[in-house]
Amino acid sequence: MNRHVRTTLVYGLISALAVMPAASLLAGSIGWPLAFKLVLWLDLFFYAVLLARWSGKGVSVILFPIALLLGTALWPGVYNGFFFLGLGIFSWIRSGSCFCGTPVRAVAAEVITVGGGAGLVSLLGPGASVTWAISIWLFFLVQALYFYMVPASCRPDAVGSAASDPFDQAHRQALRVLEEAG
């Protein structure tokens, strides 16, 4: 199990345990729907920061999508739109901004992971705090599959580890010398 999968699983567990209590604390002052949307936005924000750090691109690549989602979270009466836009922005940040790959593979990975995660959440039909916590945990369990679908050569840590291997460096230098000689 690589670092990204392990961290996604642990993050999902922490999210499952923290989202509903945090929303309940905020609900008294700003109302339940807005509190729940803001806590889900905050959860996505922290995971997007993790994705940006893993990709080595910095937090600036996630600012516009996250700000767009925050605007939707603050807009009164928008519930389904917030959830669907959140799934789209999650995919945009992960496959569009943070990790490379062929468009076909990225779309397939996002359809399987985001669609599968959203499908599990809707099948569970969360209505109570416990079922929402289980739904969030299941969603992140499915999201961990993304790192098995995206080739390791597209992730920065895999490229960095291959570049630091002395044998691979010597092999590339030997190929360069042979190409220049020939």
pLDDT digits (tens, 9 = 90+) for 106-135: 899 999 999 999 999 999 888 888 999 999
- Please state the pTM of the whole predicted model: 0.80
Residues 8 and 81 in one domain: yes
Question: How high is the pLDDT of residue 102?
Answer: 80
Contact 47, 39 (CB under 8 A): no
Cα–Cα nearest to 40, from 136, 119, 141, 112:
136
Residues 113 and 176 placed together within one structural domain of the fold? no
Mean pLDDT value across residues 151-177? 66
Residues 43 and 119 placed together within one structural domain of the fold: yes
77 and 165 in one domain? no
Mean pLDDT of the chain: 88
Q: Are residues 172 and 117 in the same domain?
A: no
The radius of gyration of the chain's CA atoms, rounded to the nearest angstrom, is 20
Read off the pLDDT of each residue in 52-80 and give the average, rounded to a whole number: 93
